[in-house]
């Protein structure tokens, strides 16, 4: 018999990691706390929470608490920060930091994860720099002994940025910013309804002293008439500029006027611009020729309120996991990092440099160097600003108009099933086309509508877009020109080519899901046979399933996640009422498990079943054993219900109802199980703020891309692989990929999804943070694995 082998040492064995929130609160902070605590425990560390921010660090005592796995259960759906945050003047002074260091040593803590703004994170880095001197001073003052401080010579700190302003350089998004933006868009949508009814103007003030991200993005998402941000003040005659734009919008028939202003807005000379000034201008005909019934709404702290949207939940979760990994990877020489996200990629970046860059923006604004302020913001910020300016003043911005010989007739078609953001993308594309002098053409009801078109009876209409018609589409769900799954070959490729020639299309902009991808593939291949199809074509992926090859993000997937997460939150309320109930929720997503996995990450699902992994009897038996163990050890103190998510095509045999019935049978009345199917609710009503803003940015890039091919011959177009392309977010970049390459190298045609699905690694994170034990493979018998025996995601053998 082999000698007994001790269990392997976990990476963080004996290490104590503390989590703290500081500064202002923002939605999503509780997701970060939960992730840090559970990841630390899973990695073999002891986990602590410091209550009331730096005040708790200075006070010590009961404000520094050891946390267990179940202590953070149900926190994902809670707003604010459940461990509190408070300003601490004592920490600004060395004696306060000295006391904080003493409390950390007494509690055996040598690593901190701090979620807060740049000020809080700057304080943390200073604390780390002073740490060796602080603990030596404590020994000199005989408050601690040399033996006590010996294990704590170095302090590791990792920052998470929690800020609704999204004002930290080096990251595309901070925890809470998209939740705040969603709240603003929701309020503006409400206000727009009453503004249109009464033909009023509303001046809406949002947060942002030195950062105009919220105001700008809300302007893009809601199609505001005018926006004021600190980084890019308007010209000296901003009053005339604003009045001219709004007067033009009223002239073409708009009944409502929305002006968004960041609280830090000012003119080019640094003089503050107030909502009251704007109201006076719009109300007084003697000042700029308008006489609008104008009201002011200051949204204030409602922007911070409520639960986090899906994006902030999984962003905070993934960043919390990465923060613990960064702690365990750190050496004494490692610079203090903060966890950032660029496009879809979680990264570590130097905290000090990010804080310096952030403060440089404020300095540039104070110095009235606005070009530098804009350059210091990321590329995405500038893209959105240009997109907003292009889509707002379509008939006024003559500088962007192209010569007549470069004008194109660009057809816009929706293919597939409805997805949030499709109308916003169409609105942006139409606005850009009109600004440049192009003719945007609507094809109603997809290729089926185009093929059924007859001059005498236009069953499916082909017509030019009108600007006033699309101006209100930014917040509309569904598809205003109709969508259809029919492919060009099903409609008759020869007839489709004939219609392309008849209407003299110079470019084609497709918006849709896998059917749109397949349609573009067919059109590209048919170019060798039909000259009329030799035009530039590009696809903007839009599907709730997020299964289009060539991109990691499709319009509509964020709206779907928000709807599904909201649905799950309500179901959890029902489950929590009985305290001993499991709900099995069947999600949409086709043969892609993206929606189920990301929703599971956002709601803390016990288990997630996807088509990629499949469902087998050993898996179900292990999960049922896990649930039995969980309920057997649950004293009933937690009010959070338990959820299992299953993708609609995860199995040909096991569906949500059958799994719920199996759980109920095996539970033997110790707990209950129910199934629930949200169905087409997941397609959403009003698109999410993220889908609306990204729709605008990506749609404009698509039309810009088509413009590059306006003078190419048929032969040149067929030679250039990018003449038929799909736009996408890959890693940290927005890229156009040649359709031919994506078709051949990236597409799993049988399962209608990418071969390499970027999110697959997240499945392990869902399982780890839910405490799900390792699942035995289908071909092996169960070995009695339970949550009690398993080490939070590790099998009993480990």
Residue 476 counted as an annotated binding residue: no
Q: Are residues 657 and 675 in contact, defined by beta-carbon separation less than 8 angstroms?
A: yes
776 or 313, higher pLDDT: 313
d(CA 347, CA 353): 15
pLDDT at 785: 44
Nearest residue to 20 via CA among 109, 126, 152: 109
pLDDT at 638: 54
Distances (CA, A) of 171 to 30, 70, 351, 415, 791: 20, 31, 11, 33, 34
Residue 436 counted as an annotated binding residue: no
Strand order in 16-21's β-sheet? 64-67, 46-50, 16-21, 111-116, 156-161, 337-342, 345-350
d(CA 327, CA 152): 14
The mean per-residue pLDDT over the stretch 665-689 comes to 91
Residue 169 counted as an annotated binding residue: no
Residue 369 counted as an annotated binding residue: no
Span 423-472, pLDDT tens digits: 999 999 999 999 999 999 999 999 999 988 655 555 558 999 988 899 98
Residue 511 counted as an annotated binding residue: no
Tell me which of 3.40.50.300, 3.40.50.450, 3.30.2290.10, 1.10.40.30 is the CATH number of domain 16-174+308-361. 3.40.50.450
Kind of pairing between the strands at 111-116 and 294-298: unpaired
Strand order in 733-738's β-sheet? 462-464, 439-443, 409-415, 507-512, 537-541, 724-730, 733-738
Query: Using 50, 70 and 90 to split pLDDT, how confident is the model at 9?
Result: very low
Q: Are residues 718 and 534 in contact, defined by beta-carbon separation less than 8 angstroms?
A: yes
Return the DSSP state at 163: -
Residue 485 counted as an annotated binding residue: yes
The mean per-residue pLDDT over the stretch 152-181 comes to 93
Q: Which two tokens stand for residue 264?
A: 């830090």
pLDDT at 697 over 50: yes
Got the DSSP string for 705-752?
HHHTTTT--HHHHHH-GGGEEEEEEETTEEEEEEHHHHHHHTEETTTT
pLDDT at 6: 34
pLDDT at 793: 36
pLDDT at 5: 34
What's the chain's average pLDDT?
90
The mean per-residue pLDDT over the stretch 102-120 comes to 93
Sheet strands (E) in 162-312: 201-206, 226-228, 257-262, 294-298
Distances (CA, A) of 764 to 341, 771, 773: 20, 11, 11
Query: Using 50, 70 and 90 to split pLDDT, how confident is the model at 7?
Result: very low
Residue 580 counted as an annotated binding residue: no
Predicted TM-score of the model (pTM): 0.92
pLDDT at 230 over 80: yes
The mean per-residue pLDDT over the stretch 486-498 comes to 95
User: Which member of 165, 172, 267, 558 is catalytic?
Assistant: 165
At the topology level, CATH places domain 178-302 in Rossmann fold (3.40.50)
Q: Where are the domains of the chain?
A: 16-174+308-361, 178-302, 398-555+687-749, 570-684+761-770
Residue 554 counted as an annotated binding residue: no
For tokens 């709601």, name the residue: 603
Q: Which two tokens stand for residue 317?
A: 């979760």
Residue 287's contacts (CB-CB under 8 Å, 6 or more residues apart) are 239, 243, 280, 281
End-to-end CA distance of the chain: 19
The runs of H, that is alpha helices, within 511-670 are 514-526, 557-578, 594-603, 617-633, 656-667
Q: Is there a catalytic annotation at residue 466?
A: no
Q: Are residues 162 and 168 in contact, defined by beta-carbon separation less than 8 angstroms?
A: no
d(CA 138, CA 149): 9
The mean per-residue pLDDT over the stretch 223-232 comes to 94
Span 698-734, pLDDT tens digits: 999 999 999 999 888 888 888 999 999 999 998 778 9
Residue 24 counted as an annotated binding residue: yes
The mean per-residue pLDDT over the stretch 246-257 comes to 90
pLDDT at 780: 58
Residue 304 counted as an annotated binding residue: yes
pLDDT at 792 over 70: no
Residue 148 counted as an annotated binding residue: no
Residue 320 counted as an annotated binding residue: no
pLDDT at 431: 93
Residue 119 counted as an annotated binding residue: yes
Residue 302 counted as an annotated binding residue: yes
The mean per-residue pLDDT over the stretch 492-509 comes to 95
pLDDT at 453: 60
Residue 427's contacts (CB-CB under 8 Å, 6 or more residues apart) are 223, 391, 470, 471, 473, 474, 696
pLDDT at 668: 87
pLDDT at 479: 95
Residue 45 counted as an annotated binding residue: no
Burial of 186 (0-12, 13-18, 19+ CB in 10 A): middle
pLDDT at 1 over 60: no
Q: At what angle do helices 493-502 and 514-526 cross, to 10 degrees?
A: 80
Query: Using 50, 70 and 90 to split pLDDT, how confident is the model at 788?
Result: very low
% the chain with pLDDT above 70: 93
Span 259-277, pLDDT tens digits: 999 999 999 999 999 999 9
% the chain with pLDDT above 90: 73
Span 343-386, pLDDT tens digits: 778 999 999 999 999 999 999 999 999 999 998 888 889 889 99
Residue 680 counted as an annotated binding residue: yes
537 or 731, higher pLDDT: 537
The mean per-residue pLDDT over the stretch 579-585 comes to 87
The architecture (CATH level 2) of 398-555+687-749 comes to: 3-Layer(aba) Sandwich (3.40)
At the topology level, CATH places domain 570-684+761-770 in Rossmann fold (3.40.50)
Residue 97 counted as an annotated binding residue: no
Q: Are residues 449 and 443 in contact, defined by beta-carbon separation less than 8 angstroms?
A: yes
Residue 59 counted as an annotated binding residue: no
List the single range of 89-98, 378-387, 540-549, 560-569 with lowest mean pLDDT.
378-387
Kind of pairing between the strands at 733-738 and 672-676: unpaired
pLDDT at 533: 96
List the single range of 70-84, 375-389, 585-599, 778-792 with lowest mean pLDDT.
778-792
Whether the domain at 178-302 and the domain at 570-684+761-770 fall into the same CATH topology? yes
Residue 614 counted as an annotated binding residue: no
The mean per-residue pLDDT over the stretch 181-190 comes to 95
The mean per-residue pLDDT over the stretch 675-694 comes to 94
Residue 239 counted as an annotated binding residue: no
pLDDT at 795: 30
Residue 783 counted as an annotated binding residue: no
Query: Using 50, 70 and 90 to split pLDDT, how confident is the model at 779?
Result: low
């Amino acid at each position: 018999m082999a000698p007994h082998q001790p269990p392997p040492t976990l990476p963080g064995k004996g290490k104590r990691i503390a989590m703290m929130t500081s500064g202002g609160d923002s939605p999503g902070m509780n997701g970060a706390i939960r992730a840090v605590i559970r990841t630390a425990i899973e990695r073999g560390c002891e986990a602590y929470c410091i209550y009331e921010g730096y005040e708790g660090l200075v006070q010590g005592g009961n404000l520094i608490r050891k946390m267990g796995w179940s202590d953070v259960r149900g926190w994902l759906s809670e707003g604010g920060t459940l461990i509190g945050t408070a300003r601490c003047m004592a920490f600004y002074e060395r004696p306060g930091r000295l006391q904080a260091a003493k409390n950390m040593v007494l509690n055996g803590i040598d690593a901190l994860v701090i979620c807060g703004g740049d000020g809080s994170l700057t304080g943390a880095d200073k604390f780390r720099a002073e740490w060796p001197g602080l603990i030596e001073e404590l020994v000199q003052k005989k408050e601690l002994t040399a033996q006590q401080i010996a294990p704590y010579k170095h302090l590791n700190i990792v920052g998470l940025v929690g800020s609704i302003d999204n004002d930290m350089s080096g990251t595309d998004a901070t925890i809470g910013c998209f939740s705040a933006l969603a709240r603003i868009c929701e309020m503006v949508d409400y206000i727009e309804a009453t503004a249109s009814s009464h033909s009023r103007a509303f001046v809406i003030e949002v947060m942002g002293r030195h950062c105009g991200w919220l105001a700008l993005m809300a302007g893009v998402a809601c199609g505001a008439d005018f926006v004021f941000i600190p980084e890019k003040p308007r010209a000296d005659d901003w009053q005339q500029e604003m009045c001219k734009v709004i007067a033009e919008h009223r002239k073409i028939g708009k009944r409502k006027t929305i002006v968004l202003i960041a609280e830090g807005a000012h003119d080019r000379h640094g003089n503050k611009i107030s909502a009251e000034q704007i109201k006076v201008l719009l109300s007084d005909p003697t000042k700029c020729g308008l006489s609008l019934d104008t009201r002011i709404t200051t949204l204030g702290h409602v922007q911070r309120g409520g639960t986090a949207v899906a994006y902030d939940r999984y962003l905070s979760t993934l960043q919390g996991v990465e923060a613990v990994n960064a702690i365990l990877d750190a050496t004494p020489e490692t610079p203090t990092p903060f966890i950032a996200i660029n496009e879809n990629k979680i990264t570590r970046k130097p905290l000090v440099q990010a804080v310096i860059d952030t403060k440089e923006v404020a300095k540039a604004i104070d110095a009235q160097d606005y070009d530098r302020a804009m350059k210091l913001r990321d590329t995405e910020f500038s893209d959105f600003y240009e997109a907003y300016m292009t889509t707002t003043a379509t008939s006024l911005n003559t500088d962007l108009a192209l010569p007549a010989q470069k004008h194109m007739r660009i057809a816009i078609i929706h293919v597939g099933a409805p997805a949030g953001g499709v109308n916003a993308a169409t609105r942006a594309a139409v606005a850009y086309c009109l600004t440049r002098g192009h003719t945007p053409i609507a094809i109603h009801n997809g290729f089926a509508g185009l093929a059924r078109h007859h001059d005498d009876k236009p069953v499916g209409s082909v017509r030019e877009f009108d600007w006033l018609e699309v101006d209100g589409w930014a917040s509309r769900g569904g598809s205003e020109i109709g969508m259809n799954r029919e492919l060009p070959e099903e409609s008759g490729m020869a007839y489709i080519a004939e219609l392309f020639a008849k209407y003299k299309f110079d470019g084609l902009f497709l918006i849709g899901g896998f059917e749109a991808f397949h349609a573009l593939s067919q059109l590209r291949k048919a170019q060798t046979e039909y000259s009329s199809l030799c035009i530039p074509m590009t696809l903007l992926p839009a599907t709730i399933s997020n299964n289009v090859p060539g991109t990691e993000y499709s319009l509509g997937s964020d709206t779907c996640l928000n709807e599904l997460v909201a649905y799950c939150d309500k179901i959890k309320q029902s489950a929590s009422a009985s305290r001993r109930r499991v709900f099995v929720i069947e999600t949409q997503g086709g043969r892609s498990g993206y929606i189920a996995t990301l929703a599971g990450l956002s709601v803390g699902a016990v288990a997630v079943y996807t088509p990629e992994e499949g469902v087998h009897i050993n898996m179900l038996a292990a999960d049922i054993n896990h649930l039995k163990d969980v309920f057997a050890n649950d004293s009933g103190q937690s009010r959070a219900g338990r959820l299992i998510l299953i993708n609609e095509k995860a199995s040909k045999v096991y569906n949500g109802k059958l799994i719920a019935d199996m759980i109920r049978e095996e539970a033997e009345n110790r707990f209950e199980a129910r199934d629930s199917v949200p169905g087409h609710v997941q397609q959403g009503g009003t698109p999410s703020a993220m889908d609306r803003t990204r729709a605008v940015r990506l749609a404009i890039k698509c039309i810009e891309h088509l413009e590059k091919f306006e003078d190419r011959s048929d032969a040149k177009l067929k030679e250039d692989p990018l003449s038929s392309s799909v736009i996408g977010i890959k890693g940290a970049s927005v890229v156009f990929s040649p359709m031919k390459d994506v078709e051949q190298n990236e597409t799993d045609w049988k399962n209608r999804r990418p071969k390499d699905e970027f999110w697959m690694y997240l499945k392990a994170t869902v399982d780890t943070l839910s405490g799900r034990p390792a699942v035995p493979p289908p071909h092996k018998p169960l070995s009695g694995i339970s949550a009690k025996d398993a080490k939070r995601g590790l099998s009993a053998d480990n």
